[in-house]
Chain A
Amino acid sequence: MHRDNHSWLIRLRASGAPRDAALADLRADVLRGLRGALSRRSLPDPAFLEDVAQEALLKILERLDQFECRSRFVTWAIAIAVRVAMSELRRRRWRDVSLDALVADGDLRAERVTRASTEPAASCDRHTLLDALHDVMRVDLTEKQRHALVAELKGMPQEEIARHLGSNRNAVYKLTHDARKRLKRGLERAGYHASDVRDAFTD
């Protein structure tokens, strides 16, 4: 084990003054990393990063036994803090967006209308593929999978999709992963393989 990692773990698992000093050091490192990484972003308020660091410290301590020393301890800790920060920024940005409004009419056939007159030569293959994709989405995906996938394509974060569905980020990832697998198989069944799909959208 890296000596620095070993030292962090011992200090954070201690009690009293050594632990308090370790927490203060870790908080300073987390804040320094976050400030540098997010310096160009518009943050909600001056206390935002302080609040994130505080929440991140709690999560880091909860997960201390999961640290496998595959990296420097501070890198691992900052990765957790970054997730806390970005999750909160996304939540604030998307909290007033309705999932229902976002996914209403996620219709791939609309592309045919908007593109048909501009690219007559290439558009035929694309339109056939898009029709097939639309059919597979309609037939092979559950409504929940379709909504989650369309919302994701429109930029809604998985945490926000999860909030609307009463779920969590990992479960939404699994939901959309299963949806992508179904789409892939559905297209293959319709005669489209990965290379056909890529080629149809290469200008």
Chain B
Amino acid sequence: MTVAVQAGDLHKRLGSTQALAGVSLTLGDGITGLLGPNGAGKTTLLRILATVLAPDRGTLRLLGAQPAERSERALIRARLGYMPQEPGFHQRFTAFEFVDYVAILKEIGDRRRRHDEVRRVLDLVGLGDDAQRRIKALSGGMRRRVALAQALLGDPRLLILDEPTAGLDPEQRLRFRELISRLAEDRCVVISTHQSDDVSALCHHVIVLDRGASVFAGAPRELCDVARGRVWLADDRSAGARLSWLTGDGRHRHLGNGPPAGAQLVEPTLEDGYLLLLAPPARAAA
């Protein structure tokens, strides 16, 4: 398994905030999920991996090359696909025209080959029949798919997707999962998301960022295990819980350092682990 991304001690300051404060990671083939609250530095990290930003400090190797070297950057970019969080479009373009425009920037051969490639990626994301519709006439979910399609141009070895499922309905999200899991078989995919169920369904590796630092890196099951023995259901609120909320079936779900007597211990989910990891310190003494 080749190493697609090798990053050491990445620092990045944006304006007055330290967006990244020493993040290290090593990624190979498969899907890695990036979780974290807003402002945690996920987008900054992804931008650095996509060679859109340069880190202030730290080492970075992408696909075996150094993005710090100008000559190697073009080589990396030729095998990289990036879907930004807020993709901008030339509104007058049709979906086909936009993806074709990006295909020119990706230097994908002559017109015939380029158009074939554009059609291929549009078919992959299910927009084959809407290729000639203007972007401004497309729904939000379809625009995201256009943004995903352009990232898939050229069959990149490293795929970086920033919140790819935001705004997609469950059916679209399912289609997306099917597509990404197929693609991840022979490339490295990095996804940042707020949806922990995307992570548990898709990712074999999870990284949690908080305030510019990595607070967890491992398998999804290990993230679940963070909350093992600390998740319980009760009929009432519990003062000893660090987090709790009323679930749909009328009971309270509590996350904390030890269930009180009589509470029902339950199997932790990935989200439980994530929430506990990032929860503010307990209000009451344990």
Partners in one complex: no
Residues of B within 8 A of A (CB): none
Residues of A within 8 A of B (CB): none
